[in-house]
Chain A
């Protein structure tokens, strides 16, 4: 049993069981899947490809049994993250340079109010220039809108480590934005 399965089984509470259909799946999750893909991918077209593939896989794999709402989330995001992982592996096969192997030291914090000075496009551009792992964390947290427990389950780390790694990704992002300023 995977860490994620255990996390799903650990989801207790009065969550009603549902049988989700194709239309409902797409209505409820397509936008979030695309947000995740947009933050993880290097470009807009790549994001579209990833989101399309993830949705396609999810539609194909729709569970036949009823699931708790929380379990639907876990099931779906496991598919989406696996699709992204496969995409990353395919990318490595296709071009060795995709993973940028950047070594970032701990960024220095400054008091710049960069959040107000940058546009959405520039912020997205900066996210897309983070390392793949950092992009994954940012995409899961702010694209898929998952909590740290679920991010941890996806990545096979503890919730504390997920929180810390996400914090570091944000610091790296801030450092990049400050350089651009």
Chain B
């Protein structure tokens, strides 16, 4: 059968898997285990050995090629932070403040590996019982996450309490940005983990929750908050029968955009009836927002809430530079350029 040039190009696309892809998959299997009846001591030993060899090789190679990475894995607990984990929050290992304090309670040891704060988020990295840290759920949805789900609260000595905004387990939890004195100087923060749920234990019924262990794991630390900048707000935009009013655009290592929507799109949204198949075609098009870097590469969305009278989205940025925000339908929408300074 003859192939078109386009088919030939697709088959020859240069797509190389990351060097550590297999090691990461095997490490997660090692962490969470395979079904008991399939495990044999020989298989476990082989799997652990293979994963350790690959991981050690990858770490040695990275340490050789990137001296800064070598220092970080040698001197701090930040070597526990994998690239997918850091990338989900838009950080690099160098931006995370290493802490490394370990507290044991109720038979479980929790290490506060590190923390990060900027004007848009405060991120906490934890390790429980020496388990590998797992990347959080992503827009494409990680199927398997952490072994443990941690309940925690973050407060500061100035009396502020910070709400957690997202967590799929214990490894990484995002809180709202620090406020008041804590945002300006090194006011002491307290992270208190109050319980752990073991997600690897299957509940006895659909109504059962995973078993919970209550404890008191308290960590005290300080953080320097990286600044977020307010970017200029465009004037209100009208596309067909829908008006978009920009209420906030801020950037740090992520870029957060809030838009109030009014008019026809909101009316059509309110008429959606629940049912299979999702919204009628075209209903969501007015709520389309995309962010591209100067090279035209779409940025990874970190959080998104679309529909009704609002668009609230954030993206993990490649770095400082120019970015293009597209609002509205692909054809007929509007584009805005922003200069994001180095944080």
Contact = CB atoms under 8 A, between A and B. Distances in A.
B144 A53 contact: yes
Interface residues of B, number: 59
Contacts of B287: 96-97
Contacts of A103: 281-282
A123 B7 CA distance: 11
B25 interface: yes
Interface residues of A, number: 66
B6 A173 contact: yes
A50 B296 CA distance: 23
A73 interface: no
Interface string A27-60: 0001101110011011101101111110111011
Contacts of B14: 120
A98 interface: yes
Interface string B34-58: 1100100000001100100000000
Interface string B120-158: 000000000000000101111111100000000000000
A164 interface: no
Interface string B253-266: 00000000000000
A101 B21 contact: no
A35 B21 CA distance: 12
A94 to B, nearest CB: 6
B250 interface: no
B69 interface: no
B84 A45 contact: yes
B65 interface: no
B25 A56 contact: yes
Contact of A142 (B11, B288, B301, B305): B11
A142 B7 contact: yes
Contact of B140 (A46, A138, A142): A46
23 contacts: A22-B46, A22-B47, A35-B13, A38-B15, A48-B18, A52-B28, A53-B142, A56-B25, A56-B29, A56-B144, A59-B26, A59-B29, A96-B287, A97-B284, A97-B289, A97-B306, A100-B284, A101-B283, A102-B285, A115-B6, A116-B5, A142-B13, A170-B4
Interface of A: 22-23, 26, 30-31, 33-35, 38-39, 41-43, 45-46, 48-53, 55-57, 59-60, 62, 64, 83, 86-103, 113-116, 118, 120, 123-125, 127-128, 138, 141-143, 145, 170, 173-174
Q: Please name the 5 residue pairs, one residue from A and one from B, whose CB atoms are nearest each other, closest first.
A: A90-B141, A34-B17, A55-B25, A95-B304, A115-B5
Given A48-B84, A120-B13, 13 more contacts: A22-B50, A26-B26, A35-B15, A42-B140, A46-B140, A49-B138, A50-B140, A51-B21, A55-B25, A64-B38, A86-B141, A90-B141, A170-B4
